[in-house]
Amino acid sequence: MRLSLDSLDDDTLLGVFAVLTVPDVLSLRQTCRRLLVFSSQQIVWQNIASSQILQQGIPFSKKPLSSFSVRDLEDRVRRAYHLGKAWKAPSITFRASGFTASRGGPIQDIHFIPGYDRRWLITVSQGIWSMIILWDRRSLTRVTSWSPEKAVFSALTVNTSEDSEAALAVSLHRYDSVVVEILAITSTAPDSLPGFECIARLDTLRQPIAMCGSLVALADDEAETIIWDWKTKEYAVLQSPVETDLWRNQCTQIVFAYKTILVVRARSVHAFAEPKLVPHPNTCVHHPYAQSTFGWVDGIFVSVPPSSPEDPTRMKGQPLSILLRTKNNDPWSSTFKIQLWTLSPMNETTVDGPHYNFPPSMTTEIVTPRRGALRCTDMVLGPYGTAVWVQPEDYSVAGLISPNIHLQNIPVPRSHETLVVAAFPGLFNTQGEAQVKSSWKNRGENWTCLDYDEERGCVALGSAAGAVTILDI
């Protein structure tokens, strides 16, 4: 007696689907109605997501698989499978789109919003007053805007937690007052357009640098960092060593790692043991258990690798990756370097003691022959080891040759800014050396800022002309 797939019992059929690739499942469901209905079940796509996405180290949401609807889960798994195939290929091809976000000036900042089903993108621009515009990242249409009367934004950070009601924190300057406001993206009715709503406020001169759930990290330009819980109003004070020179030691990033808060400043990196937050007045000041410096750099970004299926809560600790662009002291040098450093966790630690070995060790580097003036210094390193940055255009002789001196035209080499996309040693790159996967040339718009969503495989670039370019893998 011959058996066919559609005659198998459900348990056997479920085992068959568990070992099929995503393209195989999509092809098989077209053969008959029973397989179409069976392949549309939640358990089928949960099994595929677990075996072919999560266990293969492909970027995916940290939410439980059971929290998604079957349609949403299938869409996410299909997109993640495509993303994994693209990163493992020798090169990556982008699908480009764009829109005009500001007609009155440059895009000062651009961010993907991790929560809210990753539906939103925000741009920050300034005319007379500052403005945040919320965009639908699928249709690239304007949804709403937020521009408090007579206010200028000095800093903005986006919440990295997907399930928090707070979306971002903004520092507002009005006349002689400065306040940090916590904003949520809300809708008054199911069919109404969302808007920004202030859900908490703090009077402070310190600027918001990072946000994770209900925690907001604020810092000054010298040495002090505040970790503030906007829900409980509890906080802790972190004090870095004060620099002896007169240059600003601006805080560029604050990372919530395993039992550690890493404060990244212009010329130094400081590691603090995770502090206990207490209500006001808090007289306890925490000092770093370790610090390191890379000297003067043009860009730096610290990334926490994703948790493994065997250690979903990260209780064992994991290494941190530090991506930086070195600053060359030789003005005539024709190269600069992109370096990846690793900060390894200690094997044994006390409850409140150090958790990472300092100093970091260099893992690999990319030497590039191109060098020019950096307009966009943003760099983003994803948890899975993929990174994006802008490579400046070459210094050119254009502008040094007068068109009136020579009767004949003199060819002048043209140069463009380039977006570089690379995979560093890790889940997508087992070669031991960094691999440049793609580059995208700027066709005349001076880029001012960028953001990168590794899970979606999407890059957003803002320009001095007020335009936004979206690149999807």
- For the segment 435-465, what is each residue's pLDDT rounded down to a tens digit? 888 888 887 778 999 999 999 999 999 999 9
Does the structure show a pLDDT above 80 at 352? no
| Lowest pLDDT segment from 9-18, 130-139, 330-339, 437-446 | 330-339
pLDDT computed for residue 350 by the predictor: 54
Does the structure show a pLDDT above 80 at 224? yes
* Tens-place pLDDT, residues 155-212: 999 999 988 999 999 999 988 789 999 999 987 666 778 999 999 999 999 999 999 9
Does the structure show a pLDDT above 50 at 115? yes
Q: Which tokens go with 366? A: 């990319």
pLDDT computed for residue 78 by the predictor: 94
Mean pLDDT of the chain: 86
Average pLDDT over residues 74-87: 93
Does the structure show a pLDDT above 60 at 120? yes
pLDDT computed for residue 333 by the predictor: 66
* Tens-place pLDDT, residues 305-349: 886 544 544 546 689 999 998 876 666 666 778 999 999 988 765
Fold of 5-88: Monooxygenase (1.20.1280)
Average pLDDT over residues 25-35: 87
C-alpha 165: how far from chain center: 19
pLDDT computed for residue 157 by the predictor: 97
- Looking at per-residue confidence, does 427 or 76 come out higher? 76
- Looking at per-residue confidence, does 393 or 96 come out higher? 96
Q: How confident is the model at residue 228 (pLDDT cuts 50, 70, 90)?
A: very high
- Looking at per-residue confidence, does 248 or 434 come out higher? 434
Average pLDDT over residues 422-433: 82
Percent of the chain whose predicted confidence (pLDDT) is above 70: 87
* Tens-place pLDDT, residues 361-413: 999 998 876 667 778 889 999 999 999 999 887 765 445 555 555 555 555 55
Average pLDDT over residues 64-73: 91
Q: CA of 81: how far to CAs of 51, 53, 66, 117, 435, in Å? A: 11, 7, 19, 18, 20
pLDDT computed for residue 315 by the predictor: 47
Domain boundaries, the chain: 5-88, 297-398+411-473
Average pLDDT over residues 214-238: 95
Does the structure show a pLDDT above 60 at 262? yes
Average pLDDT over residues 223-236: 95
